[in-house]
Structure 1
Amino acid sequence: MPNSMALDIKSFETIIPSRFLSFTIPNPALPTHLLRVAVLDNPIQLNESPQVAALFVPQNREPDWIFSTESGHLQLLLSSPGISRLILIGSNPISGSDSSPLTYHKRDNAQYVKSLENSVKPLFFALSPKVSVQDGIFDVPILDYEDNLICSVVLERCVGVFVCEMLVEDIEIESDSELREFRRRLRFKRMPNLVQTEIRIVPQKVFELDRVKIGGEVKFRPDTKVLVHSYLIPMVASLSLIGSCIEDRFRKGLKPKALCLGVGGGALLSFLRAELGFEVFGVEMDEEVLRVARQYFGLEDCEIHVSVGDAIEYVEKLAGRDRVLVSGEDNGDFYLNHANGFGAKFDVIMVDLDSCDARNGVIAPPLEFVKKHILSAARSVLSDFGIFVMNVIPPTRLFYDTLIHEFQEIFHELYEIDVGNGENFVLIAKVSPVTSPLGECENSFLQKLRIAILGRYLDSIRKI
């Protein structure tokens, strides 16, 4: 990291796509402390006159990946349309502070920003392209970083073979109700601001509300009865399309079977088992992710069958299309054999897989999954009334239209749920046109489903 004296200020007179520099300067509000300044130029050269914006890093959140890594800076820049250069300013993190409890309050942060804003304006001028200030009228807009975080503490940082660096953190978020809301998150550094898994946590013992705080003496446990990730609830709501067939399974004394491709923290798998009574199988590429899921997110091996391996290879092998071995923890073929050993196929396959990088964002499913032979293999391991459910984050409309076309070539019917967050869609493909002979009042499974998800998204399922 260069210091301020070594920088040539003339080097900032032009935009150089993808250039990233960071340096430290004395903090004008606290002379014994340093400020970290980071400058990132947009990787895409914009046609109009270059626009500069600044963002003050929220106080005590400097170690967060979104503020401390180049890929995090890129996410912030690309989420601000029309900005050619982004300048970030924040306290220089103290060595070793990554693992210490982090407390942040918006009311305190506003005062912190105000104390710095005027004193660093000359720096904004110096770090702006020449063409932006040549007319003598110059102003750098200050961007706001808004989220619902009140405080957080990192429980563990670890590295997976496939997902690379990740962290587990407990947080408290703002709530619309009088009840306080505590969550546990699993995040991957490859997308610094992306939450891979989020679950609700509750104190292990009863405490007075004002004594409960993240990082204090209170210990928390996972609450797997509630789904808080926005797209998981519509994925579960898709089961209403085959509610009569699932009810028939239960009436015959059988458990419906679900295969989840992509486990993460295991919130979906735990919910299907504990709240809806499914027999659940999961496939996860990274064994370290599974360890984290078991240790922090309530994933129970005795109730859920999980295999370590590639999801596509797993499906192909189940379909008898390939002899590729899928490695498991103790016996590579145990869960595969177990999954096929009941004389019954899966009633639902749920896919929650993605690929991502800071420049292109998150894409779900991975491009490798958008192939006819993969979808055909998945269809072949579904029961006669089965459904194939996929979380989709399309990078383009063409990607989404292509995926829909591939589904319609393989499956009998296709449905969609718009999650409503401007990002996720859930596609639901049916093997056959099953209709329900039972009304909801006669179908105990549908009643249980409605209660479990509070009726959300059941009326949002649209046939394509």
Structure 2
Amino acid sequence: MSESNRTDSRDFKPPEGDREGQLTNEFEEIKAGRRTSLEFPLSNSVSVTAVVLDSTRAASGQTTDCRCAALIVPRQREKEWVYSTEGGQWQLLVSAGVSRLIILFRRRDSVKQAKQYQRRVNISDEALETILRPLVLALTPKILFCGGIPKIPFLNYSDSVIQRVEKEVAYSSLTGFMMVEDVELKPELEEGSRSSCVSRISSQFPGGEHESIELVTSSSKSSSTWKRRLIFQRMPNLIQTEAALMIHPQPGSKPCGRERKAEGSSSKRKEKGFPQTRQGLERVVDHSRLVHKYLPPIVAGFVLISPVLDSSIRSRQKAKVFCIGVGGGALPTFLHHQFDFHIKVIDVDGVVLDLARRHFGLKEGSSLEVTAGDGLDAVAEIAAIAISAGLVHEDLVTNWKRSSNGDLKPYVKLPTSTSQAADVEDTVKTLEENLSSGENLSSRVEAGKSVCDGLMDSELGGELKFTDENAQGAARGSKLDSEFQSIQVEQRDMDPRYEIIIVDVDASDARSELSAPPVAFLGRKFLLSALIALKEHGMLVMNVISSGAEAYEEVIEALGAIFEEVYEIMLDDEIYHSVVFALVKPSAYNRSLASPAVELVRSVIDNELIHWIRKVKFKHASST
């Protein structure tokens, strides 16, 4: 804890009131959503700032429903966003699972008195809790005194950060302040542990007089690691992106010399405590693995639609993945390197995209599109295009129009004449024929023929035109492959739908029980749009973080009302953090059958994750 002048707890008396004399009456009751800051002196030079937060869900009036706890901010961490910002403080309250949380900051008077000197001494955590306990009791709800003087626990917040260095702080009118930082972590948060990406406080309440609570995640790793993070000030306890770092030579430099501290740094804050790499070396993001705890489970869920992905692999037609929410772009970059997908990424904030490009190595390409925009509108637009192309059942179209007020115009220009409508029908027919030819091709390739031979034997191959009919060997094969890829691009453009849609967006309100996703992504309008925007055996994936069972069940019910099956991988039972998979059609995944897609998934993640998949909702009849 921070240093303090020696203070005898026997001399400390609970304050009778705040600056307005209203302390006693003001804090007897829980007032939903209240946040108040008070300051109390401990000595001539040391004071305590108490931030009192009441849950947005007021207690029912029963003693068993009302819980109160205190948290002393660790020494030298007072300015960190998780403690100093309103969003961070609300997240601490939600993580603690209490009705009232009292966050205690120790302040030292910065004005030095020349004629007075007091020696600073260290004080143990237990002694500090003893000193502050009367103050905590004065701020405790009256209902907890029904059975005598309550024992209010002091919580220990643990995030396993050894040290951190700020890389950049940026601001956006949409997101607010955001920070890219490199952090050294204790082995508890190294990959391999089944822990949450949300640092949290245990919600257990022991009865000991000075008993504290601390959450520590077990791991077999023995050494610390460095990772790069993106965090938002509005919800600093929710890591937006976490990526592994590796040492890499700087362009035009040769590794040499001994490790030393940076000299002439323009920012002490950035370099303080940060171990420098050798001259000519730099830390860069490692795209070969996923270290953010919920990202490997997302990949594990791909096995649920493995037959569809197998078909794409065999036909060499890239499956399409649509990612809503970029963060640092760790997942789309990983999928781009490890899977032969066509990936489109959208984020509402262009500043976030800029940070992802400069600090996390997000790079656009022919198979990785990055766009700034609203994910809700983007999915609705895809659905509207699919409807206009005649790819959607009439009943589903009717339901979608009702949820969208019957208006497609904001999303797509519909056919205005019979001839235009006929063109759309011809397009769909051509698409179906091409897809059918692709399936025939894959079966012939499986029979032992090359891709080029399969093409020439198929009806699709007969339509290809060559300028040199006598082309032989490698030149002929190269031309065929090029033509085949062109047809694949045409097919992809003709069908706007995706195999996978991934929603990875935070709710932006730290007081909400549901930290992710925003409630707009659980509305009937979006879910119907997603259902239409997915292909027949497609899948919607969501990163879900909830502090309570009720909010989590509402997510499952919303998805189950639209999709045929819902699965989950639960990452943390206490805060209900899970990855949820909603399927358009029942999963055809069979563990006993050989599958190229499953083997690919197994090669890039821990195989145990696949066994964590559990069905949580099954709809025998669609209610869409």
Q: Which of residues 257, 267, 281 in structure 1 aligns to 2:330?
A: 267
How many residue pairs match? The answer is: 431
Q: Structure 1 residue 153 and structure 2 residue 168: aligned?
A: no
Partners of 1:274 and 1:116 in 2: CA distance: 52
Alignment partner, residue 215 of structure 1? 274
Partners of 2:127 and 2:237 in 1: CA distance: 27
Alignment partner, residue 235 of structure 2? 191
Q: Which of residues 307, 329, 343 in structure 2 aligns to 1:280?
A: 343
Deviates more, 1:141-150 or 1:84-93: 84-93
Is the 2:382–2:496 contact (alpha carbons within 8 Å) kept by the matching residues of 1?
no
Three-state SS of the structure 1 residue aligned to 2:334 is helix
* Cα-to-partner distance string for 1:335-380 (whole Å, 9 max, x where unaligned): xx99962646322111112314232243433222223343232222
Distance 1:361 1:265, change over 3 A: farther
Distance 1:24 1:379, change over 3 A: same
Distance 1:135 1:398, change over 3 A: closer
* Alignment-mate amino acid for residue 74 of structure 2: P
Q: Which of residues 346, 349, 352 in structure 1 aligns to 2:501?
A: 349
Partners of 2:244 and 2:535 in 1: CA distance: 33
Q: Structure 1 residue 61 and structure 2 residue 73: aligned?
A: no
Is the 2:97–2:547 contact (alpha carbons within 8 Å) kept by the matching residues of 1?
no
How many angstroms does 1:413 deviate by?
3.3
Three-state SS of the structure 1 residue aligned to 2:610 is coil
Distance 1:405 1:295, change over 3 A: same
Alignment partner, residue 334 of structure 1? none
Distance 1:124 1:235, change over 3 A: closer
- TM alignment of 1:292-441, pairs within 5 A: 292-302=355-365, 304-320=368-384, 322-324=408-410, 341=493, 343=495, 345-394=497-546, 400-401=552-553, 403-422=555-574, 423-433=576-586, 435=588
Partners of 1:7 and 1:403 in 2: CA distance: 42
How many angstroms does 1:421 deviate by?
4.4
Distance 1:438 1:40, change over 3 A: closer
Partners of 1:235 and 1:161 in 2: CA distance: 30
Three-state SS of the structure 2 residue aligned to 1:458 is helix
Q: Structure 1 residue 457 and structure 2 residue 602: aligned?
A: no
Partners of 2:237 and 2:562 in 1: CA distance: 36
Partners of 1:121 and 1:432 in 2: CA distance: 57
Three-state SS of the structure 2 residue aligned to 1:306 is strand
How many angstroms does 1:256 deviate by?
1.9
Partners of 1:138 and 1:9 in 2: CA distance: 26
Is the 1:13–1:130 contact (alpha carbons within 8 Å) kept by the matching residues of 2?
no
Alignment partner, residue 107 of structure 1? none
* Alignment-mate amino acid for residue 294 of structure 1: R
* Alignment-mate amino acid for residue 369 of structure 2: H
Partners of 2:591 and 2:141 in 1: CA distance: 68
Is the 1:9–1:126 contact (alpha carbons within 8 Å) kept by the matching residues of 2?
no
How many angstroms does 1:20 deviate by?
1.0
How many angstroms does 1:239 deviate by?
0.7
Partners of 2:323 and 2:528 in 1: CA distance: 17
Q: Structure 1 residue 224 and structure 2 residue 287: aligned?
A: yes
Partners of 1:238 and 1:13 in 2: CA distance: 53
Q: TM-score, length-normalised on structure 2? A: 0.60
Partners of 2:238 and 2:498 in 1: CA distance: 30
How many angstroms does 1:53 deviate by?
4.4
Q: Which of residues 27, 37, 50 in structure 2 aligns to 1:21?
A: 37
Alignment partner, residue 214 of structure 2? none
Q: Structure 1 residue 8 and structure 2 residue 15: aligned?
A: no
How many angstroms does 1:121 deviate by?
5.7
Is the 1:264–1:289 contact (alpha carbons within 8 Å) kept by the matching residues of 2?
yes
Distance 1:217 1:123, change over 3 A: same
Alignment partner, residue 89 of structure 1? 105
* Alignment-mate amino acid for residue 270 of structure 1: T
Is the 2:382–2:497 contact (alpha carbons within 8 Å) kept by the matching residues of 1?
no
How many angstroms does 1:432 deviate by?
3.4
Deviates more, 1:289-298 or 1:154-163: 154-163
Three-state SS of the structure 1 residue aligned to 2:75 is coil
Is the 2:87–2:510 contact (alpha carbons within 8 Å) kept by the matching residues of 1?
yes
* Alignment-mate amino acid for residue 360 of structure 2: F
Three-state SS of the structure 2 residue aligned to 1:416 is strand
Alignment partner, residue 98 of structure 1? none
* Cα-to-partner distance string for 1:53-104 (whole Å, 9 max, x where unaligned): 442211111111221133433333444455646140334598xxxxxxxxxx
Unaligned 5+ segments in structure 1 are 95-109, 327-336
Alignment partner, residue 100 of structure 1? none
Higher strand proportion: 1
Distance 1:171 1:301, change over 3 A: same
How many angstroms does 1:262 deviate by?
1.4
* Cα-to-partner distance string for 1:379-432 (whole Å, 9 max, x where unaligned): 223233322222233566565555445544543433333233432233323333
Deviates more, 1:9-18 or 1:158-167: 9-18
Partners of 2:153 and 2:605 in 1: CA distance: 42
* Cα-to-partner distance string for 1:124-164 (whole Å, 9 max, x where unaligned): 57766799899996876432222211111222222223222
Partners of 2:245 and 2:224 in 1: CA distance: 11
How many angstroms does 1:287 deviate by?
0.8
Deviates more, 1:134-143 or 1:47-56: 134-143
Q: TM-score, length-normalised on structure 1? A: 0.78
Q: Which of residues 88, 105, 109 in structure 2 aligns to 1:72?
A: 88
Larger radius of gyration: 2
Distance 1:183 1:78, change over 3 A: same
Three-state SS of the structure 1 residue aligned to 2:526 is helix
* Alignment-mate amino acid for residue 521 of structure 2: F
Q: Structure 1 residue 174 and structure 2 residue 186: aligned?
A: yes
Is the 1:158–1:167 contact (alpha carbons within 8 Å) kept by the matching residues of 2?
yes
Partners of 1:444 and 1:236 in 2: CA distance: 14
* Alignment-mate amino acid for residue 196 of structure 1: Q
How many angstroms does 1:188 deviate by?
1.4
Deviates more, 1:394-403 or 1:311-320: 394-403
* Alignment-mate amino acid for residue 178 of structure 1: S
How many angstroms does 1:209 deviate by?
12
Alignment partner, residue 61 of structure 2? 47
Partners of 2:525 and 2:150 in 1: CA distance: 57
Higher helix proportion: 2
Is the 1:19–1:41 contact (alpha carbons within 8 Å) kept by the matching residues of 2?
yes
Distance 1:56 1:410, change over 3 A: closer
Distance 1:70 1:352, change over 3 A: closer
How many angstroms does 1:269 deviate by?
0.8
Partners of 1:257 and 1:93 in 2: CA distance: 59
Partners of 1:416 and 1:131 in 2: CA distance: 39
Distance 1:55 1:398, change over 3 A: closer
- TM alignment of 1:59-138, pairs within 5 A: 59-81=75-97, 84=100, 86-91=102-107, 113=125, 116-117=128-129
Alignment partner, residue 162 of structure 1? 174
Partners of 1:362 and 1:208 in 2: CA distance: 50
* Alignment-mate amino acid for residue 381 of structure 1: A
Unaligned 5+ segments in structure 2 are 1-14, 111-121, 188-218, 250-254, 262-271, 386-407, 413-488, 618-624
Is the 2:328–2:353 contact (alpha carbons within 8 Å) kept by the matching residues of 1?
yes
Distance 1:238 1:161, change over 3 A: same
